[in-house]
Amino acid sequence: MMSHPNRYPHLPLGTMLPFAQDGKLYRFSNHVVAAGDGWILMVPMFLVLGSLRHLSDGCPVAWDELDRLRLDARRAVHAFDFSAENWSRLVLGLTDLATDGWELDFIKFGHSNVWRFVHPAGIRFAATDGVVYGEEVAT
């Protein structure tokens, strides 16, 4: 069962900028998207505070990848513990978006399994092993 929307985080656009390697936020299917080499963040627009006028169209991530992240059925879901290992700054940065309630599963992008972090509010973050363990490209 979905919890009431007033219990969801409300996020200023600036909280998503650390996830935008090129410094730009994009729009896709009622979501704000931030991306980099090896990661994608999708935040439903109803969670975003502030004007959406400056979001860019033409997201550099392929639409099929965004749809897979957004729509693929979750399977083998696990509660995610941010203190369990020495995670990357991007993974730890998810707690700036929502402090708890994150779950983890894995999805297939091409020939690779990708980590997918999902929050009940609809926030999605997908990343490769290198990003999850701190080998991401510096922004």
* pTM listed for this prediction: 0.86
Q: Where are the alpha helices (DSSP H) in the chain?
A: 63-71, 89-97, 129-132
Query: ∠ CA(104), CA(12), CA(6), 5° rounding?
Result: 70
C-alpha–C-alpha distance, residues 4 and 58, integer Å: 32
Domain boundaries, the chain: 5-132
In this predicted model, what pLDDT tens digit does every residue of 28-84 receive, in sequence order?
A: 989 999 999 999 999 999 999 989 998 988 888 888 888 888 876 666 678 888 888
Specify the pLDDT at position 138. 42
